[in-house]
Each structure stands twice: as structure tokens, then as C-alpha cells.
Amino acid sequence: MKGIEKRTSVVCVNDNFKDASENPFRISELVLPVLGNRYTIRDISETNYGIGVLLEEIKNREYYFENINQKREPIFGISRFEKTKE
């Protein structure tokens, strides 16, 4: 998504989350973005599944991800957000 970097303001456009067997957590364990709410990007990561972001307003605990052999906070796919028009 063009123009997305740390501290960019975004709005959630997709809050339909489902559990995935490859994830070390269940969706019910996470604090999740809510459709229509505004957030600020805290960090951006490139993964095998695409670009993911962490949000200033949402903090989740770290989980161990076997596919990358490390603990980290779950990220949200960038496609779930649109840059806010300011």
C-alpha cells in the first residue's frame, strides 16, 4: 500500500478474523482491530504472507512462531487497513 510507513494513520476496513492452524495462538486470545476504527502504525514487517503491521493502539503478547523460529507479537495484514484521508 503506497504511503504506508511508521506513524501513518489508518482505518480498519476488514475485521473478519479466523483461526489458522499454522498460528501459535487462537483469535480469541488477541486484542483485534475493529471495523471503522482509526489506528496508528507502530511497525511494518514483510512476511511470506505479505506485509503486516503492528498498531500503536493494540498490544498483544508474543508467541513462538516455528516457521521463523522466534517469538514475536502477531501482526495484522496491511490489506485490512486503508490510509486515512487527512
Q: Which residues pair with 17 in a beta bridge?
A: none
Q: What are the tens digits of pLDDT across the range 51-84?
A: 999 999 999 999 999 988 999 999 999 999 999 9
Q: What are the tens digits of pLDDT across the range 14-23?
A: 999 999 988 9
Which pLDDT band holds residue 1 (cuts at 50, 70, 90)?
low
Strands 63-65 and 70-72: antiparallel
The Cα 83–Cα 47 span in angstroms is 20
The Cα 9–Cα 40 span in angstroms is 5
C-alpha cell belonging to residue 10:
489508518
